[in-house]
Amino acid sequence: MTQTPTPKPLLETLRGTRQATPPLWLMRQAGRYLPEYRALRAEKGGFLDLVNDSEAAAEVTLQPLRRFGFDGSILFSDILVVPNALGQDLWFETGEGPRLAPRINRDTLETLVAAPNRLEPVYGTVRHVKAALDPAVTFLGFAGAPWTVATYMIAGQGSREQAEARRLAYADPALMEAILDRIVTLTIDYLSAQIEAGVDAVQLFDSWAGSLSPEQFERWVIAPTRQIVDAVRARHPDTPIIGFPKGAGGKLVAYAAATGVDAIGLDETVDPVWANKVLPRDLPVQGNLDPLALIAGGETLDRAVDRILAAFADRPHIFNLGHGIQQDTPIAHVEQLVARVRRSQA
């Protein structure tokens, strides 16, 4: 007798089916706001030690599911494993964030020796999580989008204005294309391998997309994203792809039309009423609660949640934050959020 598959509300939403109660997950839901994460991090050592320990990373991935019962589980890893697999050294400075060396320029690009085996622990994490995950929960893999990954590779660290990458893109567009081509090629294989290991859908995080002019956005965000979407879809046609171009603002319309993503994530600066009017009616959207409203809690949180739910009441919608959850977010406020979303349209 054939067993009926367990429904996955989040996955069905990504495929275009509106749910009476929007499915819910939070970006960076596995992490420092959880005491169980902090305890495991202290036991395992540094952040990369945790990412590269497949069993420990799987445990971190599952922790928020046990506590909050989210509809989606996001793989615990980091977007910078890709430049590490392209040959850059990666480490984290305490209190200062990630570092990559050598910084990429015309002289150093050709010295890199790709090491795709560095991604094997991620695939191990996926397999461990898949074996333990509630079948009703949608398992999300991810990668950094090429432009955002390139900004780190060029500067050797994070940068709020991405000035070095933007300067290079204007001064030497051929070099920028060469950098992005390497990122695109590896990212296609990386996301495909995550899918083959067990994720149900994938998200491309373009955290620094908002720093570009419209023309540059089209060239360095839309075009490489479209390459990834087309290639991954050719290999895995049933796997939805979420695009999250943070800071894109009015360029979201062009992004939605030209990249081919199955769903689009909205950051907290986007007016949900406007987004609902200008984006294609059948396009699933994800977002877009301000992480600071979640920290505020109380009536402020309830009002913010209700406004988003009302704006997207007639389209496929996944409730999420507009960016990652902050480490000082009270657990009780996350519980309040989950209750508010789930009682709103039940």
Give the pLDDT of residue 192.
Answer: 98
User: Which pTM was predicted?
Assistant: 0.96
Catalytic residue among 67, 78, 118, 302: 78
Structural domain contains residue 4: no
Residue 284's domain is classified under what CATH number?
3.20.20.210
Structural domain contains residue 1: no
Structural domain contains residue 303: yes
- The answer to whether the CB of 24 falls within 8 A of the CB of 71 is yes
Give the pLDDT of residue 170.
Answer: 97
Give the pLDDT of residue 238.
Answer: 97
Look at the chain and report how many structural domains it folds into: 1
**SS3 call for 116:** helix
Q: What tens-digit pLDDT sequence spans the chain (346 residues)?
A: 566 789 999 999 999 999 999 999 999 999 999 999 999 999 988 899 999 999 999 999 999 999 999 999 999 999 999 999 999 999 998 777 899 999 999 999 999 999 999 999 999 999 999 999 999 999 999 999 999 999 999 999 998 789 999 999 999 999 999 999 999 999 999 999 999 999 999 999 999 999 999 999 999 999 999 999 999 999 999 999 999 999 999 999 999 999 999 999 999 999 999 999 999 999 999 999 999 999 999 999 999 999 999 999 999 999 999 999 999 999 999 999 999 999 855 4
Give the pLDDT of residue 69.
Answer: 97
Structural domain contains residue 15: yes
Residue range of the domain that includes 286: 9-344
Catalytic residue among 28, 166, 182, 315: 28
Alpha helices in 119-220 (DSSP H): 120-132, 146-155, 163-171, 173-197, 214-217
Catalytic residue among 33, 37, 41, 182: 41
Give the pLDDT of residue 281.
Answer: 93
Catalytic residue among 33, 53, 99, 152: 152
Structural domain contains residue 135: yes
Q: Has 106 been annotated as catalytic?
A: no
Q: Has 167 been annotated as catalytic?
A: no
Structural domain contains residue 310: yes
Catalytic residue among 32, 118, 340, 342: 32
Give the pLDDT of residue 120.
Answer: 98
Structural domain contains residue 309: yes
Give the pLDDT of residue 159.
Answer: 84
Task: Tell me the two tokens of residue 220.
Answer: 């360095």
Q: Has 235 been annotated as catalytic?
A: no
Long-range (24+ apart) CB contacts under 8 A made by 216-219 are 216/166, 216/169, 216/170, 217/248, 217/251, 217/254, 217/255, 218/254, 218/258, 219/169, 219/173
Give the pLDDT of residue 209.
Answer: 95
Task: Tell me the two tokens of residue 294.
Answer: 């979640």
Q: Has 41 been annotated as catalytic?
A: yes
Q: Has 78 been annotated as catalytic?
A: yes
